Structure 1
Amino acid sequence: MRALKLFGIALPILQAPMAGAGLSALAVAVAEAGGLGAIPCAAIALDQARAEVAAFRARTRRPLNLNFFCHALPPVDAARLRAWRDRLAPYYAERGVVPPEALGDAGRQPFDAAACAFVEEACPEVVSFHFGLPPADLLARVRAAGAKVIASATTVREARWLAERGVDAVIAQGAEAGGHRGLFLTDDVTTQVGTFALLPQVVDAVDVPVIAAGGIADGRGVAAAFVLGASAVQVGTAYLFCPEASVTPAHRAALRAGGDADTALTNLFSGRPARGIVNRLMREQGPLDPGVPPFPLAGAALAPLRATDAAGDFTSLWSGQARALAVELPAGELTRRLAADGRSALARAAAPGIEVRPTDSTWTVNIEFLSI
């Protein structure tokens, strides 16, 4: 299978890099089980990222994916930032917290020369990008460091754009996925496509391996992705249930409590559309609001509220739409179960024209169209 050879892994399961929820402990468990573990570097300082990579390397020699954002920092609009803070004023008063004075802190930095130097130092086997790709000179340095490059696409147009710039694989991120949308050639979330409509179109549009992401939380989703042409799957929300995930108690409780119809796309927490469990802020302010400061400036005004937010009222509770299918297992066991259950689902669905040959190191699914 193309993805297994490309990444040097035994199972076609990629752990989604989830800022604030998955660091080296989760990545190690997934990697040791045969999947591709990931460390999200976009929301942590490079010193912390360096420490997380060192912790990963101390526990396993398996491949590692380092993930970065490629957004452009917007100009600081002081009036818009103050208006956003003023909208939040009743919550500051209710919680007895002091409104922040500095509102232009970006927090999340895009991939830059310093991040590129870190990649050259860390030598990860895979580097993944969200929100497009970095400038060509930095991308060339990442490749020269020996890393395979993958990136997210939410439309066929974005997938083609990535393939034209030489990525080694495309992540087809469907609208079901939790967390930030990877969109970068559009900002229209109303036209975003679901995973199992997007996936086959991307497979037809590009020549590189395609990784399915969004709404995949059990073996049936894995099998469906392979039937539609995926070379691997990227799983996020299901891993949030694992003990190795560093989610808050409020986030974990919300994950356990809900079902398929209580997530929404929102820009309130960061300024960019992301899918999360509907909480108080989303209900009272409306999940999507064009007046919110652009990514990543919106979050600074929420910082004092997050600091006192034991219930998760003002904190992003990222989740995809399929979390009701997730089970609470250690991450290594979940990785192996996803692969095994996916293989079994393919075998159950096997019919004339579909061949399933599972081995220790690969899956082969050949689909032939029969003459009518």
Structure 2
Amino acid sequence: MRTWLTEQFELELPLISAPMAGVSGGRLAAAVSAGGALGMIGVSPAASAGWLRGQLELAAATGRPYGVGLLGWALELSDAHMKQVIQARPDLVSVSFGEVERWVAPLHDSGIALAAQAGNLVEAFDLEDMGVDIIVVRGGEGGGHGRNEVATLPLLQAVLDEVDVPVVAAGGIGTGRGLAAVLAAGAAGAWVGTAFTCCPEADTSAEAQEAIVRAELGDTVYGSIFDIAQQVPWPAAYGGRALRNQFTEIWQGRESELAAGTPAAVAASDQVLAARQADDIRYAPVYAGQSAGLVESERPVAEVLSEFATAAHHLRAVAAILETEG
């Protein structure tokens, strides 16, 4: 499977592991890159310089291409993480959910490619005009934060018809069949998160991994209640998709009440913060996409990548059918 993505970064598989803060550390990025795809480190705004330095060293140790994901809104508060990342010279940096354009020139001047997420067609147009190298078309079924306006395949088709920048598809891609589908549509590759959350190389807690393995396709919910409860300043347009739990059952749809600072809301916020410390997934967020229903077990990165490599088989099968019918 040769695409713009594999040629640009000398990959064996047209796949990028999503930079999931709290999940995608240097170990996961290194394992993905060593396996022939492109691994990404997800950086929380609260990450220390020492932590980031260690993760960058882990990812770079393979000698294979790797990347780092940063949050645009967090960089507006402090650019310290970006400065540190540019010094490390990864192959790819993603900046999404906030100001992107200011980073195009600094990254390109350092020889680093820039990716950014688009959750609708307007965002894709804007990113193309800015000069980003890769547009990550993220559908609403994707895990973690992003827009919830359009599903992956409709958005992917629309963007591919309108832009000339290489496009990578994100959201709901959990198997080789999913990778084959977006490649057949014309994407340069896939941006995959949830499928890697239950790898031993990930930083996901054991409790969260068990919950993802148990999850079915309809067991996620989208919204901003976890951000409100934790007072994390995510822009309002970008909610998060996470597994349903007791907290979502109580507070989903009651965002204004949760933000009002009533005694009940304060108690709920304290409950979520304590739950995160204790890995209590009844109240703490477990971010995952709808493809959590496709994760059947905890397995190493190498096995996950082997599953995605079956996309070549599915594409050959389709080609054979078309040749027969032709």
TM-score where L is the length of structure 2: 0.86
- Summarize the Cα distance change of 1:110–1:248 in structure 2 as closer, same or farther, 3 Å threshold: farther
Q: Which runs of 5+ in 1 are unaligned?
A: 72-107, 184-188, 356-369
- How many residue pairs match? The answer is 306
Larger relative helix fraction: 2
Q: Which amino acid aligns with 1:54?
A: E
1:233–1:135 distance in 2 versus 1, CA, 3 Å: closer
- The residue that corresponds to 1:55 in the other structure is 58
Equivalent position to 1:238, from 195, 201, 210: 195
Asked if the contact 2:224–2:255 (Cα under 8 Å) also holds between the matched residues in 1, the reply is yes
- When residues 135 and 221 of structure 1 are mapped into structure 2, their CA distance, relative to the original with a 3 A threshold, is closer
With over 3 angstroms needed to count, the CA separation of the structure-2 counterparts of 1:111 and 1:254, relative to structure 1, is same
1:286 corresponding residue in structure 2: 252
Alignment TM-score, normalising by the size of structure 1: 0.76
Q: Give 1:329 shift.
A: 2.4
Q: Residue 256 of structure 1: CA displacement?
A: 1.4
- Residue 350 (structure 1) aligns with: 319
Whole-Å separation in 2 of the counterparts to 1:253 and 1:132: 32
For residue 126 of structure 1, what is the aligned residue in structure 2? 92
Q: Summarize deviations over 1:174-214 as a string: whole Å, max 9, x none.
A: 11100011x4xxxxx4xx11111111111111101110111
> Unaligned 5+ residue runs, structure 2?
229-233, 261-265
Report the structure number with the largest CA radius of gyration. 1
- Which residue does the alignment assign to 2:115? 150
Partner of 1:38: 40
Match of 1:337 in 2: 307
Name the amino acid aligned to 2:293: A
2:93–2:112 Cα contact (<8 Å) kept: yes
What pairs up with 1:16-165 in 2 under 5 angstroms?
A: 16-43=18-45, 44-58=47-61, 60-71=62-73, 110=76, 112-134=78-100, 136=102, 138-165=103-130
Query: Looking at both structures, which has the greater relative contact order when contacts are Cα pairs under 8 Å and sequence separation is at least 6?
Result: 1
2:254 and 2:128 map into 1 onto residues whose CA distance is 31
CA RMSD in angstroms, aligned pairs only: 2.4
Aligned residue in 2 for 1:258: 215
TM-superposed deviation, 1:110:
4.5
Give the Å deviation of 1:111. 7.0
Asked if the contact 1:177–1:275 (Cα under 8 Å) also holds between the matched residues in 2, the reply is yes
The residue that corresponds to 2:231 in the other structure is none
Shift of the 259–163 alpha-carbon distance from structure 1 to 2, 3 Å rule, reads same
The range that moved more, 283-292 or 229-238, is 283-292
State how 1:192-231 maps to structure 2 within 5 Å.
192-231=149-188
